[in-house]
Structure 1
Amino acid sequence: MGMVFSGEVALVTGGAAGIGRETALAFAAEGLKVVVSDVDVAGGEGTVALIRNAGGTASFIRCDVTRDAEVKALMEATLAAYGRLDYAFNNAGIEIEQGDRLPDGTEAEFDAIMNVNVKGVWNCLRHQLPIMLAQGGGAVVNTASIAGLCAAPKMSIYAASKHAVIGLTKSAAIEYARKKVRVNAVCPAVIDTEMFRRAHGGDEQYAAGVASRHPMGRVGQPGEIAAAVLFLCSDGAAFTTGHALTVDGGWTAI
């Protein structure tokens, strides 16, 4: 049984691969028109090709979410192409610092992670929310992490960025709670994406160790996060806003 959606246009940032690609495909499978955005042009166009080959409607628009002018142009291009923006999945992000204790992190790492993970979400929200308000409603989901809910030793900058995403999410949700615009976040544990594969670098013992830390004994799949995002956008979540939904194989229940 498919989910029920009141709108018809969805935007996915970070849509070139992994969670973003799977979510774009899932939106399209539900009959929505999808705008895919990323700095990875080849990957983003690849996602659009997969959607079109399956009979869906999609467009790719390159955007660096850290640049306000590019985000503004992305929203304008979305409206020009499809006339509205009903759902936005602000998923663009970069990975953790590589195992540094807090004093070992560099200013360059801090700036890079915060610019994409926090400023990028903030830029998107500040251009998406007025559009949704003007058209009478909409739903936004931001990608946070379980690192935004609990301690994350040796990845303090990344954890701080994801705590900030949850703060943005809750604040925006309350601001717009009576205006028919819902804002939620999804908080994955470790997901089997290229980002995870870069982290373990082919070290299967390391990968197995990470998987075993999840009570379910495995890492998650991108499609499992996509399903959570679509639920938060769907009419089934009509009374849900300001929520950080964990999809973590039980990690945060320990």
Structure 2
Amino acid sequence: MIASSSSSGNNTWYPDSGASNHVTNVSQNIQQFTPFEGPDQIHVGNGQGLHINSTGVTTFPSPKNPNFHFALNNLLFVPSITKNLISVSQFSKDNSVFFEFHPSVCLVKSQDTKEILLQGSVSPDGLYQFPALLPATSKQPVQCFQTATSPSVNIAGHKSVSFATWHSRLGHPNVDVMKLVFRNFNIQSINNIDSDFCSSCCLGKPHRLPSSLSKTVYTTPFELIFSDL
């Protein structure tokens, strides 16, 4: 990680390809959080292990497209870390985006449309940064009465609704459409999107009718041509 261990509160975020989780030193940056109790620590460049106070999730709109909302999942609150870090791999996966690093700017683009959704700059110390990424707020973060034991804990903010339930409510769309709906409408409490099998989709979306078995034996090439049109 690029951060050191001295504390400095700010709202500038730094993309870090070496970070496995997002990290912040400002508790107000987390909209829903859970106290963290576990042996895991954040290790910085000098080898020092930093205590994880809590873990949570937050969302924010794209400055380029207000209809698109980014999600910072598995966001760790570490008061003693210097910089707010964005895990490049996790951010790309959770939001279906990719990063482009240029000499003077850093761009975040949609994987589907290649639209620029976020633009950063280069700081005086040579690091890519996104200044004022989250809207300023004086509200205290919403605490959830659940103890986290690992950074990948599920956030309990409201009643969990399964993927299968949303899939049925929305008319059985495919997985890509479901992910787009969850991301754009900030639906957080869902189970594993790829874990459910829908028998109704298998029955209602066949691409062709099954072919009946034939007992006829053909002995020469092109004696029978079967075409699925």
Q: TM-score, normalised by structure 1?
A: 0.23
Which protein is richer in strand relative to its size? 2
* Higher CA-based Rg: 2
Which protein is richer in helix relative to its size? 1
Q: TM-score, normalised by structure 2?
A: 0.25
